[in-house]
């Protein structure tokens, strides 16, 4: 699943492997994503809770349509028995991306990857309507359009 609606966490792959056309199952979670996960676990356990990570929280998928695998970590897939909102807020959950070696993050309530008319983008419904996020390789950032 490329990014399911609901709280999903996704992550993208090691860059040297990606450049060589690595398969998703060959890619290791990057250190920055491991750090995010470890910090979330520590916060939960410090609060006396039990930490779990839902399947699909870390994903290796093509989120920008360039044919290369990217890594995604969606903190919406983190759970702690002592706090449902420990990792997310009213604006959404942090979703971390590594695209062409560049790390970025968005706060999203929900998201999926869409390919429409030859353009691949993230689509995320939110309080102000649906937003489309297109990765801009020239600026190494997200361009945002409201539907």
Give the tokens for residue 46.
């410090």
CB-CB contact of 46 with 38 (8 Å): no
What per-residue confidence (pLDDT) applies to 95? 97
CA distance 51 to 60: 22
What per-residue confidence (pLDDT) applies to 1? 34
pLDDT tens track for 103-126? 999 999 999 999 999 999 999 998
**DSSP assigned state of 130:** E
Residue 128 binned pLDDT confidence (cut-offs 50, 70, 90): confident
How many C-beta neighbours within 10 Å does residue 146 have? 9
Regarding pTM above 0.85, the answer is: no
pLDDT tens track for 69-108? 999 999 999 999 998 667 888 889 999 999 999 999 999 9
What per-residue confidence (pLDDT) applies to 12? 27
What per-residue confidence (pLDDT) applies to 30? 94
Distant-in-sequence, close-in-space partners of 79: CB < 8 Å, separation ≥ 6: 51, 52, 53, 54
pLDDT tens track for 4-60? 332 222 222 222 333 334 455 567 899 999 999 999 999 999 989 999 999 999 999
CA distance 106 to 93: 8
What per-residue confidence (pLDDT) applies to 105? 96
């Amino acid at each position: 699943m490329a990014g399911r609606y609901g709280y999903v966490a996704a992550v993208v792959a090691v860059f040297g492997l990606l450049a060589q056309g690595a398969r998703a199952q060959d890619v290791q979670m990057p250190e920055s994503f491991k750090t995010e996960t470890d910090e979330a676990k520590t916060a939960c356990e410090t609060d006396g809770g039990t930490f779990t990570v839902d399947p699909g929280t870390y994903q290796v998928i093509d989120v920008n349509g360039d044919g290369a695998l990217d890594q995604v970590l969606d903190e919406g897939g983190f759970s702690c028995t002592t706090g449902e909102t420990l990792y997310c807020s009213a604006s959404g959950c942090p979703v971390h991306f590594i695209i062409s070696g560049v790390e970025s993050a968005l706060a999203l309530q929900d998201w999926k990857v869409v390919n429409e008319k030859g353009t691949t983008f993230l689509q995320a419904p939110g309080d102000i309507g649906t937003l489309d996020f297109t990765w801009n390789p020239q600026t190494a950032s997200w361009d945002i359009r409201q539907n």
